[in-house]
Homo-oligomer: A and B are copies of this chain.
Amino acid sequence: MSKKNVIVGQSGGPTAVINSSLYGVVFEAMENTDYIRTCYGMINGIEGFLEGRYLDFAEALPGGNLEFLKSTPGAYLGSCRYKLPDDLSDPVYPRLFEKFEELNIGYFFYIGGNDSMDTVSKLSRYAKQIDSQIRIMGEPKTIDNDLILTDHTPGYGSAARYVAETVREITLDACVYEKKSVTIVEIMGRHAGWLTAASVLARKYVGDNPLLIYLPEVDFDEESFLARVEASFEKNCNVVVCVSEGIHDKTGTFICEYDSSVGTDSFGHKMLAGCGKYLENLVRDRLGVKARSVELNVNQRCSAAMISHTDQQEAVMAGRYGLQVAIKRGITGKMISFVRCSDDPYVVACGLEDVNEVCNQEKTVPLEWITNDGTDISEDFITYATPLIQGTPPIPMGEDGLPAFAYRK
């Protein structure tokens, strides 16, 4: 059997463990020298690769340096938001496959979310059409946990841990004064509320904050929100409310759009703020209490200190598994999925799903997991999410006292 080369790319927004998936693919490629000669990385995904930008991992991260990848946030290879044309007769396809040919590529891996699985789908269909033997595989990643046909996605566990741990800390910070206050925490997730739901894990005892949790799966109503906040003061004078950035009213208008029509500053710049800031102002104005908002922002997806060890190990596992089945079983056109075998003890196995079915679909939080008139989250969710946020992996620290990450030269 003649040896082939591997090429791997990253696409879409980063997560805390997208580089752990990359590590898994590269590590396994380097282990299987009977099948693989060289493992390449596309710089800035398909887009950069089309411009001829790629690297050789043996040169870029020689020896033990590869280990630093595992806990490096961001996308080591750089990312892109590039959609391949729907029309498979577009000249970009032969261009790409010629480049694959030049590099003697036998295995193509793309790590990403919905849009990236669309790329994998198109490339695998084109490969079939031209009878190419290149194995085309998708490695999932997204903090949003919104991919179908998988129990959860790599990246979600770490972001969920960030949300849970940070909300627990914000709650302690918000409760130091004996004076009515409302803290709104705005969490990522435009269409799916998985991350916001994870804020329920912050609760330490019955009646603990966050007292209210709002997901985009349920229509948001300002008046009932205000009434709920007011009622919550009976439980605690400091109320923490977690909201998804994507909450919207019953007409479908996002709450964050409520003031996008106004705020222009003296230079005519339009001021855009999130729904957290909007609700903070609403609470202060209507309830006359101290209000603050905290937007968790990109830290949700790039905090090394809060990587879930489980998430990191699963991301590596998915990367390695994908490479193994591609080289040893000739699998192509599939996305690696997670199949949960058991909650307690938590056991997960890798599966293979048809990318054509995965791409461009979205999995939201089941409505039966959203309780108390859309202001709380059920025990079922807690059972589902708790295993995903477990453990703290070792993070290599540099001489400067900060995490030592992998940098591309």
Contacts and interface: CB of A to CB of B under 8 A. Distances in A.
Interface of A: 10, 13-14, 44, 47-48, 72-75, 78-81, 161, 164-166, 168-170, 172-178, 201-202, 204-205, 258-259, 261-273, 277-278, 281-282, 284-285, 292, 294-295, 297-299, 301-306, 308, 386, 389-392, 397, 400-403, 405, 407
Contacts of A170: 298-299, 302
Q: How many copies does the complex hold?
A: 2
Given A75-B176, A172-B73, A294 B305 contact: no
Given A202-B402, A268-B285, 8 more contacts: A14-B172, A48-B178, A72-B172, A81-B177, A165-B402, A263-B265, A269-B281, A271-B278
A115 to B, nearest CB: 14
29 contacts: A14-B173, A44-B177, A73-B169, A73-B173, A78-B176, A78-B177, A79-B176, A79-B177, A161-B401, A165-B402, A169-B304, A170-B298, A172-B405, A173-B302, A201-B402, A204-B407, A259-B263, A263-B263, A263-B264, A263-B271, A265-B278, A267-B285, A271-B277, A272-B281, A273-B273, A292-B298, A294-B298, A305-B305, A389-B402
A295 B292 CA distance: 13
Contacts of A285: 267-269
Given A72-B172, A405-B168, A78 B178 contact: yes
B265 A262 contact: yes
A145 B12 CA distance: 39
Contact of A281 (B47, B78, B265): B265
Contacts of A265: 258-259, 262-263, 278, 281
